């Protein structure tokens, strides 16, 4: 009597894993944090508290479910941004679009440090 229960369970599990893998490229948390250190992002940002710039968890909350958030934030990281969070602007950061995307994907996914 066990088999008929396990088969549908495994099928659902595999389907979920496959669709999750296709939905978005995996977040490379280690590389994202290396890039954020190299480019001095952590001089102005912390994960869970406001420094000069907003906490990364607040950025994730603000843009959760917003279409185009990744592209908007990549552009803001590269070109700088002002007036979104307050009076202090973010200066342009010199990093490639690919590297900015790696960091922004990690931020939008909740800045996990494991």
Residues that bind ligand HEC (CB under 6 A): 36, 39-41, 43-45, 52-54, 59, 73, 76-77, 81-86, 88-91, 93, 95, 103-104, 107
Shortest distance, CB of residue 98 to ligand HEC, whole angstroms? Answer: 13
Separation between Cα atoms, residue 114 and residue 103, nearest integer Å: 15
Tokens found for residue 45 = 């940002």
Shortest distance, CB of residue 100 to ligand HEC, whole angstroms? Answer: 7
Contact 63/86 with Cβ under 8 angstroms?
no
Using the minimum distance from each CB to ligand HEC, give the nearer residue, 6 or 66. 66
Shortest distance, CB of residue 14 to ligand HEC, whole angstroms? Answer: 34
Using the minimum distance from each CB to ligand HEC, give the nearer residue, 16 or 96. 96
Burial class (CB within 10 angstroms; exposed 0-12, middle 13-18, buried 19+) of 21: exposed
Q: Which residues have C-beta within 8 Å of that of residue 71, sequence separation ≥ 6?
A: none
């Amino acid at each position: 009597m066990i088999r008929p229960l396990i088969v549908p369970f495994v099928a659902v599990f595999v389907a979920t894993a496959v669709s999750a893998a296709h939905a978005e490229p995996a977040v490379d948390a280690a590389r994202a944090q290396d890039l954020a250190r190299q480019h001095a992002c952590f001089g102005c940002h912390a994960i869970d508290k406001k420094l000069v710039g907003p906490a990364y968890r607040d950025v994730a909350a603000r843009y959760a479910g917003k279409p185009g958030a990744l592209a908007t934030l990549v552009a803001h990281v590269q070109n700088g941004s002002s007036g979104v969070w307050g009076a202090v602007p973010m200066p342009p950061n010199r990093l490639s679009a690919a590297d900015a995307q790696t960091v922004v994907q990690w931020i939008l996914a909740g800045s996990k440090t494991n």
